[in-house]
Amino acid sequence: MTDTSTRALAAQATRATTTRPRWRRALVSIAYFVIPIAVVIGIWQLVTMLNPPAPFFPQPFAIIANLWDLMFGSPKAVQQVFYGEFLQTVGRMALGFAIGAVWGVVVGTIMGLWRGARETINPIVEFLRSIPATATLPLFIILLGGGNDMRVVFIAYGVSWFVLINTSVGVGSVHKTLLDVGKVFRISLARRLFRIVLPGAMPKIFAGLRIASTAALLLAIVSEFMLATDGVGYMLVQAQGRFQLLNMWSWMLALAILGLIINTLLEWIEGRILGWHRQSKSRA
């Protein structure tokens, strides 16, 4: 799916270059992004301002201001909140994501390269990945306790399936002739792996990584909801317990921003690394 959408974007871009100057094109696409968001926030702000105060829906500007206070400006807990909670969540997620991604790529490559291995492991993989990852959280808690390690392992476990499946499909779809050429020229296995197999599978692997990154945030939050002493998810549950709706909205906004940042970051990396792939596709 990501594949088709990127192709469409490339096509759109080429179409636009031929008709309009560059700066206008950039301006238009920024406007298409900013205006709808501004309209939605504006309507929300107006409705909450004109209506008698709705306890569950604070004003959007108040939420933003409050988040700013919570993270940077509040004289009470400046350092603690930002470094403590926000970075805790991010750190956990990043570590779990990294471990899960490496594991997924390694196992996925093995599965993609050797049919015997693939056919043997496949039913197990298909079954394990069908278990909703969050449902396994109680098992992780029983097995590993409620500490930080448990959370990282849990995130890594949940994330690895997306990467594993996509890597295995990507590696499996590398053309056999290419592999044979590598063999005929007696290129070492390691070089074949890093020069032929993995670059060929890269678009698929990145599609997996992007889904995995969204999943990593979700799993981090769920694990903080269930059992934690810090992190944004924990702060959210705390605010819920005290009926602090403004704080809840602020932490929700923080999570939304985090999700957006992660997504944008991966898209940017993908664009840098896979630029060649997109170009070759749009030319074809």
H/E stretch holding 58 reads: none
CB of 181 to another protein, least distance (A): 16
40 makes contact with another protein (CB under 8 A): yes
| 6 exposure class (CB count in 10 Å sphere: 0-12, 13-18, 19+) | buried
Nearest CA to 155 among 173, 177, 140, 167? 140
Nearer Cβ to another protein, position 109 or 223? Answer: 223
The answer to whether the beta carbons of residues 133 and 158 sit under 8 Å apart is yes
Query: Which one of 78-86, 98-106, 189-197, 216-224 is the stretch in contact with another protein (CB under 8 A)?
Result: 216-224
Q: CB-based contacts of 54: which residues, under 8 Å, 6+ apart?
A: 48
32 makes contact with another protein (CB under 8 A): yes
Which of 41, 81, 141, 187 binds another protein (CB under 8 A)? It is 141
Helix axes 148-172, 137-144, angle to 10 degrees: 130
The answer to whether the beta carbons of residues 222 and 214 sit under 8 Å apart is no
| 266 exposure class (CB count in 10 Å sphere: 0-12, 13-18, 19+) | middle
8 makes contact with another protein (CB under 8 A): yes
Place of tokens 């053309």: 175
Q: Which amino acid makes up residue 185?
A: F
Q: Is 263 helix (H, G, I), strand (E, B) or coil?
A: helix
Query: Which one of 18-26, 43-51, 94-102, 113-121 is the stretch in contact with another protein (CB under 8 A)?
Result: 113-121
133 makes contact with another protein (CB under 8 A): yes
62 makes contact with another protein (CB under 8 A): no
Which of 97, 154, 162, 206 binds another protein (CB under 8 A)? It is 162
205 makes contact with another protein (CB under 8 A): no
Strands (E), 199-274: none
Which of 76, 177, 243, 272 binds another protein (CB under 8 A)? It is 243
Which positions lie near another protein, rule CB under 8 A?
1-5, 8, 29, 32-33, 35-37, 40, 56, 116, 119-124, 126-128, 130-139, 141-143, 162, 165-166, 207-208, 211, 214, 217-218, 221-222, 225-226, 233, 236-237, 239-240, 243, 245, 248-249, 251-252, 255-256, 259-260, 262-263
